[in-house]
Amino acid sequence: MIRLTGLALSLLCVAASACQPTLGECATGEGAGEDREVVFLVNGSPEDGTPLYAGQALQQRSCGNSGFCHSQAATGNGRRGAPAGLDFDVFPACTDEASCDTAIEGPLERLRESQRQTYDHRYDIWRTIEDGSMPPGAAGESVLADDVYYRDFDPDTGTFSNPLPGLDTAEGRRIYRNWLACGAPVVEQAREAAAGERPGGSCASVMGTVGDCRVRAGRIEPPDPNWPSIFARIVEPLCVECHRDDGNPFFGPSDQQLDLCRSTPADSGPCDPAAVHAALVGQAAEGCGGTLVAPGDPDASVFLDKMGASPGCGDPMPLGDDDGLAPELLAPIRQWIQDGASL
């Protein structure tokens, strides 16, 4: 609550215009601190591969994520004290051809309004980020960061890599500051790639109303029924983020401490696929009970059950995606376990 009061104070501060903080220059272009670097959402849903600008993604993930606090969709307690009308929900208005052509008006209005709010409040917003009062640690922890945005996509293998750092890092704050200073440009629409279009590039023939149109990255391709493929397509991009002991808020004494990487807080490099395999196969699920991966017995494998829509224990994984993973992604994992879950 004290932290939320911080925002109210900032607003007073601006009303009095006595203490305008500096946001600095807008740097554009590659290397200069790109304001339009494209990142791709990955959360195991049909929206996978949706492009956003990096600053847009940071705001989306940290301020409301279409569901809490500064989101138009949040009302009453869901706002957790965020003032009514102060909406910063900047997810693209549509994510594929069908929704862009038929159902864009309402979402576009939401995007337009949130972008305006962001621009009007850019100094307060930056102040609260800089002084650490936003995003509010305690109140926000339970809802933050359940979507991951990746900076790179390899169309040949269909894999995402290089996660976008959060606002709790200097790099994340640098990106976000520059995005605010550049006027908070947004990706308004996302379209499937046409022949010759590259993921993240501009859509050839679409003019946006409040922002740009960018080409989606491919959706997650179902893995092959073997560990290297399952690791690369599913576990590394969708699970490792939370299931390693690197100080992320989802890995704590109150949660099941499934450390897939067997890492220490100091480790930040990629996880070793063999170590993750060893952490799963034949190991006990400490929180849920039972076995994580029981070779030859998919129905007794908590790892598989947790990725379905109605797991026997806790929430569907990856956390934040209420429906679990699509059946076509789960089928090869089931097959792999059935076949003995080898490395």
From the centroid of its chain, how far is CA 143? Answer: 11
Q: Say if residues 337 and 297 touch (Cβ distance below 8 Å).
A: yes
Tell me which residue of 201, 172, 138, 156 sits closest to 61, measured CA to CA. 172
By CB under 6 A, the count of residues binding ligand HEC is 26
Of the residues 86, 111, 307, 337, which one makes contact with ligand HEC according to CB under 6 A: 307
Among 285, 293, 329, 341, binds ligand HEC (CB under 6 A): 285
Smallest separation (angstroms) from ligand HEC to the CB of 111? 25
Site string for ligand HEC, 93-132 (x = CB under 6 A): ----------------------------------------
Alpha-carbon gap, residue 257 to 239, rounded angstroms: 13
The smaller minimum CB distance to ligand HEC, of residues 51 and 320, is found at 320
| Cβ atoms of residues 135 and 63 within 8 Å | yes
- Please say whether the beta carbons of 50 and 62 come within 8 A: no
φ, ψ of residue 235 in degrees (nearest 5): -70, -45
Q: Which amino acid is at 178?
A: N
State yes or no: residue 220 binds ligand HEC (CB under 6 A). Answer: no
How many whole angstroms separate alpha carbon 267 and alpha carbon 253?
19
329 scored as a contact of ligand HEC (CB under 6 A)? no
Query: Is 63 near ligand HEC (CB under 6 A)?
Result: no
Q: Would you count residue 287 as binding ligand HEC (CB under 6 A)?
A: yes
Residue of the chain from 97, 113, 146, 152 that contacts ligand HEC (CB under 6 A): 146
CB 62 within 8 A of CB 42: no
Which residues in this chain contact ligand HEC in the complex, by CB under 6 A?
A: 146, 234, 238-239, 241-243, 250, 255-256, 258, 285-288, 292, 302-303, 306-307, 314-315, 317-320
